[in-house]
Structure 1
């Protein structure tokens, strides 16, 4: 297993993000957004690869976007938002999401961020459980998803804390 940073438009990253979009669309009965353009402030796009008999297989992804100062709720801390955390359904429950989160935390700390924020939702109980188990705490609603009552918002201080 290896997590590598790749360009936003890397074919493996695009396919994984599209898979996540389809998954969320089915859960929330919302439109599918495919081939999402890179958001402003992208810090990192990571893909998790596992070794198989046929070579490397991309099974998960996660992105970091600099949102420092974008919302009052973030305060003055250098803030990065973790987005597009996704593991293919058939590979869940094997610790790959933990590996992705560990790598995003490492990258965020290495690049001088003080906290990570993220948005999840009530119809993603496995994700919410994962974030809470990793020390994320609830945060006041922010951004475009605050309009949806199914949205949940989290924050984790990461200064001197890579887990």
Structure 2
């Protein structure tokens, strides 16, 4: 009896099965990776919005409560703009600044010197912003943030001294 030597390499069936298993493993890995990226982008969007909310609240508190002595409401309470005044007893003229909602940003505009107006972004990624009430010493505001499909609505108040 003669013994036949086995052929070296894979048969066609083994190669097809190998390719099929590899395709299944790669498909599962791609699905898991895409889910991970999707969740990561959602978390990043929410964290970005939360960061902007903190910036809005702390900047408004600092600007309105600490630096200015009153609001100019001669034209009533405008929905998206307030005018701030600062009067000191020894200086007859008032310093004036505004906080206004413009193109998705809340902007603080003030005079840095006699001839120079300066702008500072208080918060970004705003879809809507309104000042809606002045009650006692508190100025109330409402904001809707939008970043990469994620949205969040907040309400807040700033005390005016």
TM-score band, normalised by shorter chain: under 0.3
Q: TM-score with structure 1 length normalisation?
A: 0.26
More strand by percentage: 2
> Please, what TM-score do these two structures have when normalized by structure 2?
0.26
Larger Cα Rg: Structure 1 or Structure 2?
Answer: 2
